[in-house]
Chains A and B, each alone.
Chain A
Amino acid sequence: MLAYIGRRALLAVFTVWAISVLSFAIIQLPPGDYVTSYIAQMASMGSMVTDEEAQNLRIQYGLGQPIYIQYLKWMRLVVVGDFGFSMEWRRPVTEVIGDRLWLTVVVSVAALILTWALALPIGIYSAVRQYSVGDYVATFIGFIGLAVPNFLLALVILYFGFTLFNANVGGLFSPEFQDAPWSAERAWDLVKHLPVPALILGLAGTAQQIRIMRANLLDELRKPYVVTARSKGLTEARVILKYPVRVALNPFASTIGYTLPYIVSGSIIVSLVLSLPTVGPLLLRALISQDMFLAGTIVLLLGVMTVIGTLISDILLVWVDPRIRLEDT
């Protein structure tokens, strides 16, 4: 078990490294260097950057030196939590991102939990009652979930919320809590706003998981041990939940690792449509105005968060399901 977790952790470290290189590339891609644009920005505001200051900044970021040294210098700043300065907001990047990163995490985790909470029972129901009305309904929802890109779904739901109920289903807070400091009421307000975005984000994943669960369970239900269990006189619920569901859970659980990156990805675009105060809209604005330190940092933090989330779910999985320890992964 330790060896398995060790291997996972090592892979996670490599992934984080790959993400950091890619984020650095995003920062570096636009023409011109950081200090030159910083000076231009300051000049446009009417304040001057002295040569000495500019020189200090150049040394701090290692500009003019080979690219890997620039990368290392950037990494050294990042590790201590200094993500640079946002051009557009004229504030440190960490300040600009603020709560938004945590709200992204909250929305993604809510979507993830909803995915499992819906997919598991619906998948079991679809398999046990194959070709029933409920099964067809689940299959139909599944196809919609697969075919409708989540940002279009968000748009459609927003439209119907607006025209039919004259309600704005977007956002994560009611207007009165928008800029309020954190309190129990604000947290409750957040919880009340979560279901719609979580459902939109989770639908595609749910659809896929239902299909996987249904197919696996159908294979298992035909096996002789199920007949044996039933002939022993176990109740139907016990027959199904005790044995075949447990076996069918395995392939189902192994997809968890890929569900989180998918949800986080989707949250970026859905947040824009639903105007959620997550990092999504911030990232888009940063990219459009070429505010590269902010954009690179968001990509980096999102990536790292996802890797950590995946690692945690991997470890939880080993803890819950001993068969995985035996598997050669």
Chain B
Amino acid sequence: MATLVLDREEQRVFVASQWQLMWWRFRKHRLAVASAAVVAGFYLVVLGADFLAYADPDASEAQRSLMPPQAIHWFDGWRFSPHVYGLKGARDPLTFKRVYQPDPTQKIPIRFFAEGFEYRFLGLFPTTRHLIGVDAGLDASGTIFLLGTDVQGRDLFSRLMYATRISLTIGLFGVTVSLVLGVVLGGLSGFYGGLTDTLIQRAIEILRSIPTIPLWMGLAAALPREWSILQVYFAITIIISLLGWTELARVVRGRFLALREEDFVVSARLVGCREMRTIFVHMVPAFMSHIIAATTLALPAMIISETALSFLGLGLRPPAISWGVLLQQAQNVQTVAISPWLMIPAVPVIVVVMAFNFLGDGLRDAADPYGR
């Protein structure tokens, strides 16, 4: 009986496709699976940023500048009724700093799927529904401050949602450009070898021995001031991907070199396959999974680059909102010491970078299902 079960198990492995084997192996890596869920969650925020935000990210108001984060009170007595306290702002007569006092008598109920500012859901359907909000007649951007407000009195939580959208998509575009460069140059290098290989490898070595951040800064600073947000966005993407492709090219080259001498590639060539067919039908599927893993590992670097550039004020510029742009307000230690919540945008950066690293590690292990 036991042997029969084992046989079935074995048979299952023998007939499983490459992707099935990878999935089985990936599933065993708990941390990687959890990280995949975290990454998926972040991309859901990207899709539904305007639904999750309850306040207009650009609505500024000096009267509510630098408000501390405010807690939601979930129960009123024993009854479930989420609400926040109204806040009274006043200027401290000694420090001239605005201080805010919660007023427990003034309970503002929080409604789910409430009406708020208008936006287009997924960029398609115009709607005014938001995950949370307040009763009609009240303005959510003046009453709820889950993560506090910035100097201009804009709601940090809502801005964080929009920033997630920009920071994570810029990473995706950047990695796509890097991937194209890496696959083409790494592929040429590995497939042809010889002089092409030497030239490309030396170019990679040169690029890798240059300190990149001063170079990015120089290129980013040269972007014309009058460019629109969209133009700057794409220019920054290209700058960070131009210098980030080397690692991907190395992986692709390594795989090409390993596969070039494999029996199935040699036989494909012997039966008269054209070069393009040999590459795309026979070789690429064999190392596709490795490329996916390497790409996942390259993403965090892209996200950090964008954050760093914007943090310096050379990347995306306000009114664009990204994690780096939000962190720009936390540059000064005096400001941060008085309003530490301005450092909150660092949390998603760290979480997403860690999640991508674990996910990439898991994918890399899974990409080689016959490995250890």
Contact = CB atoms under 8 A, between A and B. Distances in A.
Interface string B174-203: 000000000000000000000000000010
Contacts, number: 131
A308 B211 CA distance: 12
Nearest to B307: A149
Contacts of A265: 211-214
B311 interface: yes
Contacts of A1: none
Interface string B336-357: 1100100100100110011001
B209 interface: yes
A188 interface: no
Contacts of B331: 155, 272-273
A143 interface: yes
A159 interface: yes
Contacts of B304: 149
* Chain B contact patch, size range: 35 or more
Contacts of B214: 265, 268, 283, 298-299, 302-303
Contacts of B336: 155, 158-159, 162
Interface residues of A, number: 51
Contacts of A159: 333, 336-337, 340, 343
Contacts of B340: 159, 163
B330 A155 contact: yes
The B interface, classified by DSSP as helix, strand, loop or mixed, is helix
A123 interface: no
Contacts of B215: 22, 26, 299, 303
21 contacts: A11-B202, A14-B202, A18-B206, A22-B218, A23-B218, A29-B218, A146-B357, A147-B300, A148-B353, A155-B327, A159-B337, A168-B333, A261-B208, A261-B211, A262-B211, A265-B214, A266-B213, A283-B214, A288-B221, A295-B218, A303-B210
A94 to B, nearest CB: 18
B211 A15 contact: no
Residue among B219, B221, B349 with most chain A CB within 10 A = B221
Nearest to A147: B354
A19 B218 CA distance: 12
A241 B336 CA distance: 47
Contacts of B308: 149, 151, 269
B222 A269 contact: no
A26 B222 contact: yes
